[in-house]
Structure 1
Amino acid sequence: MITIAAPREPAPETRVALVPEVVAALVRPGHRVLVESGAGSAAHYPDDAYAAAGAELVSAVDLSAVDVLVHVTPLPPGALGRLREGAVTLGLAGPAQDRLEPANRRRVTMLAFEHLPRTSRAQAMDVLSSQALTAGYRAVLEAAVRLPRFFPLAMTAAGTVPPAKVVVLGVGVAGLQAIATARRLGAKVAANDIRPDSAEEVRSVGATFIDVGLDAEAGAGPGGYARSLADTAAERQQAALAPHVADADVLITTAAVPGRRAPRLVTASMVAAMRPGSVVVDLAAAGGGNVEGSRPGQDVAVPSSRGGGTVTVVGLASAPSDLPTDASRLFAKNVANVLALLTGDDGELIMPLEDDIVDGMALTHDGRARHGLDSSHDTAGADR
């Protein structure tokens, strides 16, 4: 049996990598689960609930005694250096270059959710998708509370209030959830994505597809995810989207390219052309921003060129962290599904690199960086 630990995440992160429900499922077959005291407090999972589920509450996780360390935010290099030799980390890795050397020195296997293969079998382990679901929902709520008008159509004795017009750019999991949430609130929704199958997806949730006339196949990347457009194509896309953005009351952008800076979809002049009081929510603000001028964790007022007033640009730093209870529940279930792949028939820790999911997620293993990643401690090349 193995020892699994979940630390308290550093502020401002409010999520936790394990929730009591998942702890109970891990303890049942005999695994030992350590949870740092207060780890779930910000997500409204109290210490008592973890204890009742069978976790051992500790004031600080002894990293030298852990087989698998599960986490939400990328681990600091110093923590990797304190893990026992051969331990496993499982969580979000972010830019990992500064973590490779300490991980390899301790022969730690780093499993990164960002590198999970986008396959049907991996869907139950896909943290990026589960957290994007919460982000898309949250983006619409953030827009709704800032918009100085109704989302739904309202017919009253005093007159009719037309529905808000919402435009969503990027139709992955976050975008589809944003469309569905805006529709449930009664808005009129249109959306665009460069992936070839996005038009059908948009229409399936009741929105209008914005066709910008680009070769959709050029935007299809591995696993069906979008990839960056060439500069000329991006400019044509912006020009085609400009009138739709100008006519919107709410603009929500969700486009991201895994491992790269977020594509710039909306220029400052496009924002300024929106009506006074309009709201823009940029879910990609922390990754460089889909919207020029957005700032992670800040509301930016942009003067409107249409008769005074401002447009509010909301840069969400981490939308899932604003819904930590359910975001943590989904994250923890993703973690448990990966842990099932790492547990042998006798409950021992295994590392089945022949499995495409484990192989794809492993950034380091047995003292080497993998998949072409560089490390000053890794002179032998990728272990594949």
Structure 2
Amino acid sequence: MRIAVARETRQGEARVAVVPELVGKLTTLGYEVLVEPEAGHHALIADREYAEAGASVDADALAVADVVVSVQPLPTASIRRLRPGAATISFLPTQQEPDAVRDLRDCGVTSFAMELVPRISRAQSMDALSSQALVAGYRCAIVAAGMLRRFFPLNMTAAGTVPPAEVVVLGAGVAGLQAIATARRLGAVVKAYDVRAAAAEEIRSVGAQSIDLELETLEGSGGYAREMTEDRAARQRELLTPYIAAADALITTAAVPGRQAPVLVTRQMVEQMGPGAVVVDLAAESGGNVQGSEPGEVVRIGDAQVWGGRNVPSQMPGPASRLYAQNVVNLVALMTREEDGEVRFAPDFDDEIVAGACVTHDGAIRHEPTRLALEGESA
């Protein structure tokens, strides 16, 4: 069985789906590992490192592979090079990539989407959303500290005392908690808010003050918050305004994959922040938590600079690739079987992890929401 590591071609994508130190795990499973030339270039990994780890660098890797792994969905030209019956593993946002889904179906390719891996205990080692959110949360705090023209920590000197920066974080999922922890390690005074009741204790556990707005909590499924009514959203924004106005830096991290990010902060709220304030909106690509933020851009609202995140994990491609690669290898291992002395990539579709992550198989779209959405488009 051959597994191929694709070279990413999308602008701004610097990660790679397998790193050299994990090649050995795949070969131990029984796979021959093929790597497209310069697949790890943007993550500062040379072809030589893959070769030394036991992989073959091969320009025709995709055409001969049984399984192809990548970070972003394969482009159409690459999908059409795959042999019928091959499988792909990647992020595959089906609502944003309907043409890729159709190509995978029509070419008879079995595809698995890393963001569809169920959020259950048994699948934690395959949860790429969480691993990449960890990277993004850290990066957000570093961006905020770099843009803010003052110290994060308290400094007491013979020349006087410099007070610490005040940071507010909205959203306390994996990314939010990492942003909080990083800002605290840098010495800032951090306050944070999340609509989920369980988040208050998690916020305090990483050294921040939990903001209590005395509103109804919104616990949802899969660890995410459920959607709020517009009346509650308006009341929440009203109660958050004084906290945001007093902050030197605001970091927003509230997002649910495949859905529009909730608007937590209006332009008017940002305009109340002081001169030199910084806003970091991790959710800018999915609509933004901050009204007026633009993905990949820094815009000025009032006296504040607003940084909109775009593919934030890719801004730290080394650690992001290593974490993602481990997720991918764990998923491959789950779907690998030895039959009659031969290793086979043999997904068990009765397994809830496999069934949940599968988008296309045997010429059909197996992911029901995607199938219904595409059927609705063609009706």
TM-score by length of 1: 0.93
**1:81–1:105 contact (8 Å) kept in structure 2:** no
Q: Given the alignment of the two structures, is residue 321 of structure 1 paired with residue 314 of structure 2, yes or no? A: yes
Question: 1:63: Cα distance to partner?
Answer: 3.0
Q: Which residue of 2 aligns with 1:189?
A: 190
In the alignment, which of 324, 347, 352 is matched to residue 356 of structure 1? 352
Gaps of 5+ in 1: 304-309, 380-384
**2:98–2:374 contact (8 Å) kept in structure 1:** no
**2:29–2:333 contact (8 Å) kept in structure 1:** no
**2:299–2:306 contact (8 Å) kept in structure 1:** yes
Q: Which residue of 2 aligns with 1:146?
A: 147
**2:73–2:100 contact (8 Å) kept in structure 1:** no
Q: Which residue of 1 aligns with 2:45?
A: 45
How big is each residue's C-alpha offset from its partner over 1:117-138, in whole Å with a ceiling of 9 and x where there is no partner? Answer: 1111111011110011111111
Q: Which residue of 1 aligns with 2:20?
A: 20
Q: Which residue of 2 aligns with 1:4?
A: 3
User: What pairs with 1:122-137 in structure 2 (closer than 5 Å)?
Assistant: 122-137=123-138
Cα separation, partners in 2 of 1:197 and 1:377, compared to 1, 3 Å: closer
**Rounded Cα–Cα distance in structure 2 between residues aligned with 1:192 and 1:378:** 37
Q: Given the alignment of the two structures, is residue 251 of structure 1 paired with residue 250 of structure 2, yes or no? A: yes
**Rounded Cα–Cα distance in structure 2 between residues aligned with 1:56 and 1:266:** 50
Cα separation, partners in 2 of 1:290 and 1:171, compared to 1, 3 Å: same
Secondary structure at the counterpart of residue 179 of structure 1: helix
How big is each residue's C-alpha offset from its partner over 1:265-300, in whole Å with a ceiling of 9 and x where there is no partner? Answer: 110011111001010001111111111111111111
- Aligned residue type for 1:359: A
**2:4–2:61 contact (8 Å) kept in structure 1:** no
Q: Which residue of 2 aligns with 1:344?
A: 337
- Aligned residue type for 1:130: S
How big is each residue's C-alpha offset from its partner over 1:71-120, in whole Å with a ceiling of 9 and x where there is no partner? Answer: 11122234323321111110100234222322122221110011111111
- Aligned residue type for 2:208: A
Q: Given the alignment of the two structures, is residue 168 of structure 1 paired with residue 161 of structure 2, yes or no? A: no
How big is each residue's C-alpha offset from its partner over 1:283-318, in whole Å with a ceiling of 9 and x where there is no partner? Answer: 111111111111111111222xxxxxx211011212
User: What pairs with 1:367-378 in structure 2 (closer than 5 Å)?
Assistant: 367-375=363-371
**Rounded Cα–Cα distance in structure 2 between residues aligned with 1:245 and 1:378:** 41
**Rounded Cα–Cα distance in structure 2 between residues aligned with 1:323 and 1:243:** 33
Q: Given the alignment of the two structures, is residue 157 of structure 1 paired with residue 150 of structure 2, yes or no? A: no
Secondary structure at the counterpart of residue 326 of structure 1: helix
Secondary structure at the counterpart of residue 257 of structure 1: coil
Secondary structure at the counterpart of residue 291 of structure 1: coil
- Aligned residue type for 1:322: Q
**1:248–1:274 contact (8 Å) kept in structure 2:** yes
**1:281–1:313 contact (8 Å) kept in structure 2:** yes
In the alignment, which of 321, 328, 331 is matched to residue 324 of structure 2? 331
User: What pairs with 1:48-67 in structure 2 (closer than 5 Å)?
Assistant: 48-58=48-58, 60-67=59-66
**1:5–1:61 contact (8 Å) kept in structure 2:** no
How big is each residue's C-alpha offset from its partner over 1:195-244, in whole Å with a ceiling of 9 and x where there is no partner? Answer: 1210111011111111122211xx22221212321212111111111111
Q: Which residue of 2 aligns with 1:36?
A: 36
**Rounded Cα–Cα distance in structure 2 between residues aligned with 1:251 and 1:158:** 29
**1:100–1:375 contact (8 Å) kept in structure 2:** no
Secondary structure at the counterpart of residue 190 of structure 1: strand
- Aligned residue type for 2:291: E
Secondary structure at the counterpart of residue 174 of structure 1: helix
Cα separation, partners in 2 of 1:202 and 1:374, compared to 1, 3 Å: closer
Cα separation, partners in 2 of 1:378 and 1:85, compared to 1, 3 Å: farther
Moved over 6 A (4+): 376-379
**1:212–1:237 contact (8 Å) kept in structure 2:** yes
Question: 1:375: Cα distance to partner?
Answer: 5.0
**1:368–1:378 contact (8 Å) kept in structure 2:** no
**2:90–2:114 contact (8 Å) kept in structure 1:** yes
TM-score by length of 2: 0.94
Secondary structure at the counterpart of residue 82 of structure 1: coil
User: What pairs with 1:268-347 in structure 2 (closer than 5 Å)?
Assistant: 268-303=267-302, 310-345=303-338, 346-347=342-343
Q: Which residue of 2 aligns with 1:112?
A: 113
Question: 1:62: Cα distance to partner?
Answer: 4.4
How big is each residue's C-alpha offset from its partner over 1:168-188, in whole Å with a ceiling of 9 and x where there is no partner? Answer: 001010000001000101100
Gaps of 5+ in 2: none
**Rounded Cα–Cα distance in structure 2 between residues aligned with 1:353 and 1:263:** 34
**2:264–2:290 contact (8 Å) kept in structure 1:** yes
Cα separation, partners in 2 of 1:64 and 1:376, compared to 1, 3 Å: farther
